[in-house]
Amino acid sequence: MANWFENNATKSIITYSVLLIAATWAFYKFTFEESKIDNYKSQIETKQATISQYQSRIEYLEEENLKFKSELKDFEDWNSKSENPTLFYKSQYEKTILSRKDSTYNLKKISSLKNILINKNESYINKELDLIIGLTDVSVNYGSVLNISYGNNINNNYENKKVGETLLIKSEKGQLKITINKVNYINSIIEISIHK
């Protein structure tokens, strides 16, 4: 056998090279290619989960839209039958404004504000504390993106803040703790508490 390798050096080098290339290709195929496939599979599963969450959100919004349409039809019917609909709307508007004034007045008296709901693309404003909290986005993984201004410390962005996290903010007015109590991705709403 040793004589064959000595007598056929070129063939043995070519055979050895082919074996080495085949082993390297097999290692590459099963190591890197399989990991790529696993990575693509996990990306597909993540996208499918995101799509299903969006579908459930769309279904909820469609149901809400149907409710609003039926309420609007009731108002239109009532409007067409009423002699003076503006009086009704004016009285309802005044009731709403008065209830908001009372609620903010009561909130200012206490040192901790609880169960404050903020919708996406809306802000919570507390003039006495000189505090503005805006909800920029609610992500699929139930993280929230907040923009907070407090005193002279303005437009601070906080990304991917989740339930249970507390933000500590400071300004010349003092220090505040903002705790995220709930994050509702479907409705794009968060609930927070504020403590001095």
Question: 3-class secondary structure for the chain?
Answer: CHHHHHHCHHHHHHHHHHHHHHHHHHHHHHHHHHHHHHHHHHHHHHHHHHHHHHHHHHHHHHHHHHHHHHHHHHHHHHHHHCCCHHHHHHHHHHHHHHHHHHHHHHHHHCCEEEEEEEECCCEEEECCCCEEEEEEEECCCCCEEEEEEECCEEEEEEEEECCCCEEEEEECCEEEEEEEEEEECCCCEEEEEEEC
Structure confidence by residue, pLDDT tens digits, 92-109: 666 666 665 444 434 344
**pLDDT digit string, tens, across residues 72-96:** 887 777 677 766 666 666 666 666 6
pLDDT, tens only, 20-61: 898 888 887 777 777 778 888 888 988 888 888 888 888 888
Who has greater pLDDT, 12 or 126?
A: 126
